[in-house]
Amino acid sequence: MFERALFLTLVLLCCEAQNVGLLSSIANSTRYWMNDITKLPIVQQISKVSGDLLVQSVDVLTKIPLAMARSLDLNDVIFPLFTSDSNVVDLTDQIISEFNSGLDNEDITLNMSNLVTKYGYPIKRHQVTTKDGYILSMYRIPNNGSVVFLMHGVLGSSDDFVVAGPESGLAYLLSNEGYDVWMGNSRGNKHSRQHLVLDPSQSAFWDFSWHEIGYYDLPAMIDYVLQVTKTNKLKYVGHSQGTTSFFVMASQIPEYNSKISLMVALSPVAFMAHVKSPLVKLLAPGTPLLHSMMQSLGVDEVLPDNIASRILRRVLCGVGPLAEIFCSNLIFLFVGFDFGQLNVTNLPVLYGHIPSGASVKQLVHYGQGVVSEDFRQFDYGDSKNLDLYESNVPPSYNLKNIVAPVSLFYSEADWFTDPRDVDKLYKRLGNVIDVYKVPYEQFSHLDFLIAKDFKPLIYSRLRKLLRDV
């Protein structure tokens, strides 16, 4: 039963529906079943409170499969899907009006260059080729100040740092301060879908996780930036996977520590034993099965949108204005949202630029970390592990090798980065100079980029760090 449930979910997420009518019927049947459940008094009571209570409820349900997977090392233990809603709120006419008012914003369809130029900032596109042949695009808002390099999270791109607009977009704020702003793009996202010999239609193109992004992409981009700007060091700001890949680079290739004068980790993701995301926790025990199943189906990329994924969103989110507005983007199903800091009017712009694509292997690697409770290289199974690592177990990243100054920004309500995992990371890193807990109880994973109060809650602290270090 569990395997069949996971199989249906994966097909819906990653494959175009061959028979939309059949899948729609399945979706409708599932919705009727879930609607019956939602009529139960206890479920109705849960729906009236914050998403944190739901996370705690799902945590109880996921302890058994995760414990089995960890203790028995049986990663093929699968748990069925669970409806994931976050911060359920009373839907008002004002919310609908705010969302609809943003639908005519031309920023939704503008590409990166046109978007930045529209607001009066210069921008240049640069390309660099990694040692293993990937051609990556970077965007630069040139200035005379010191260099700041911004790196996005999983399913993100350089767009992440400008979609909030000139009032609170990080790239704009840094440029206003005189910094020479560079924004990277990892292999596989919409800006970096080229290779010297491979094509995105080939499975070999997608045979990478965030390990390769840290080991190949970041060094290539950082070396290029330093060469063009004729400087020896830069300041690095990463969000989510942008922190994971940095930890990979600085631990695996320690000489790059000397090229970083400061690393600021917005929602640092390394250890994930206490991840709150219900969807991640429910799928994590089955990541080996997920990976092999996707390979057998020829599905290597996490697609941002297709008919099948829209059906899945209907199953998970329901129907009606609330589902249409807050569940129309797959990212929210994984990371949740903080309604208090969400600019509803700007949501259409966000949806127009995020998600930007990723490999299945990236998400699988994160799932492995949830089960293993460790920060280590990709687990290929005993046989291939022996060939690659000379050990049945993948090696852990030696975080003590990271001696570049690091600042950790985290929050209590982040579904991907739990304070307990941040504390573990803090104790393992070689040179943490600053730890900052965002003073806002419901601050979420995406709020580190798009919060209404980004300037007082994030940028004021970041600005001081960049100036003083």
Q: Which residues are catalytic?
A: 240, 445
Output the CA–CA distances (angstroms, integers) from residue 355 to 124, 157, 373, in the order listed. Answer: 22, 8, 27
Radius of gyration of the chain (CA): 21
Q: 80-109 burial, b for 16+ CB within 10 Å, e for fewer?
A: ebbbbbbbbeeeeeebeebbeebeeeebbe
Tell the residue number behind the tokens 């491979």, with chain if given. Answer: 198
**Is the distance from CB of 117 to CB of 150 less than 8 angstroms?**
no
- Strands 432-437 and 301-302, by their bridges, are unpaired
Q: 3-class DSSP state for residue 287?
A: helix
**Is the distance from CB of 79 to CB of 61 less than 8 angstroms?**
yes
Q: What is the DSSP letter of 161?
A: G
The rounded distance, in Å, linking the Cα atoms of 431 and 401 is: 9
**Is the distance from CB of 232 to CB of 226 less than 8 angstroms?**
yes
- Strands 358-359 and 301-302, by their bridges, are antiparallel
Output the CA–CA distances (angstroms, integers) from residue 13 to 314, 316, 448, in the order listed. Answer: 12, 12, 26
**Distance between the two ends of the chain, CA-based, in angstroms?**
55
The rounded distance, in Å, linking the Cα atoms of 362 and 369 is: 11
The rounded distance, in Å, linking the Cα atoms of 441 and 419 is: 12
The rounded distance, in Å, linking the Cα atoms of 185 and 164 is: 18
The rounded distance, in Å, linking the Cα atoms of 96 and 395 is: 49
**Is the distance from CB of 213 to CB of 242 less than 8 angstroms?**
no
